[in-house]
Amino acid sequence: MFLTKGGLSVHTGGHVDSRLTGQSKILHRPNSKEAEDMMRFKPSRMTLAVVLAVAAILAAGGVAVASNMGFKLNKPISQGPVASAGNENWTSVPYNNPYGSTAGFCAQTGLKSSVITGLAQLTYIRPIDDIAVSCTCGGTCTAAQPLPGSAAFLPGIGFRIKQPGTGSTSIIIVGSHNPTLSFNIIPFCNTRLASGICSAASVPLSGQGITWLDIPYHTTAVTFKDLCTQMGLPSSALSTCTLSRVDAVTGASQNATCVSSAASLVNLVLGESVKVTCPAAVSGIIPAHF
């Protein structure tokens, strides 16, 4: 069935596949079965929760179109000098997607890739050693370099887009969800220390555990606190994870620990990845979703 309000549409197909935001448009018509479902539709606590969840991300800054086939997100991209601070578009993509590689993502989303327009840059951080790996569209991004986030490479990990230019533009991101994909968070260490959990010989001198989480587009989480609870992240006064997001336009960061009340005040943004650092390992995470 469809739940619609103005330009907002959610196709449930018996369950909610995604949440739509902004100036979304209904791109397909319901079939006869869906029409019958609509006629039999009765409000329930679940459908109210869906509507409220959708409303909660109306200000997310993007347009997502969902059906039983998957997701389509019109993601805003803040532009600016690639070599300078700011304009950091930390990005989530669906766990199943058609890109296959960094070069594929560059080409299919139309990121800038010529010396005339300048070269967009993709960057991901490896949690195993906190080393940032970057490439440029039309340059060092290749078909041999996998895109993080899927089961094939760095599952559950998001990445950053920086694109030269001024003002904002947008790209279209497509894909579908993998409900069985799970991932782990390893303990955060700034560097290898003389004692404690960060003293293990396996801890790189560069540190470990910076994890930019790829958040599903149809997540049931609305705030940082929701993520902490749903993913079972450490949330005690003596041991708690820290979550952060970066506003691509202003460059301002919002940070909160799972144990703090501030975690309930920071909203997730559709299509944006979230940085997580934890004092202990968390294994087998499968994000909750509609």
pLDDT at 64: 61
Inter-CA distances, 161 with 74, 122, 137, 138, 273, Å:
14, 5, 10, 14, 11
What letter does residue 247 receive in the DSSP assignment?
A: -
pLDDT at 136: 98
DSSP bridge partners of 255: 244
Inter-CA distances, 240 with 211, 235, 275, Å:
15, 4, 14
CA distance 37 to 161: 41
Amino acid letter, 276: V
**Tens-digit pLDDT string for the chain (290 aa):** 333 222 222 333 433 333 333 333 333 333 444 334 433 434 343 333 333 444 443 334 455 655 455 999 999 999 999 998 899 999 999 999 999 999 999 999 999 999 999 999 999 999 999 999 999 999 999 999 999 998 899 999 999 999 999 999 999 999 999 999 999 999 999 999 988 999 999 999 999 999 999 999 999 999 999 999 999 999 999 999 999 999 999 999 999 999 999 999 999 999 999 999 999 999 999 999 98
Count of CB atoms situated within 10 Å of the CB of 42: 5
**Contact by Cβ (8 Å): 290, 231:** no
CA distance 35 to 17: 18
Is this structure's pTM higher than 0.85? no
Residue 12 tokens, joined: 């449930």
pLDDT at 85: 87
Nearest alpha carbon to residue 275 among 87, 78, 96, 125: 125
Residue 15 tokens, joined: 């369950």
Residue 173 tokens, joined: 């991101």
**Contact by Cβ (8 Å): 221, 200:** no
DSSP bridge partners of 96: 176
Residue with tokens 């003293």: 199
pLDDT at 194: 87
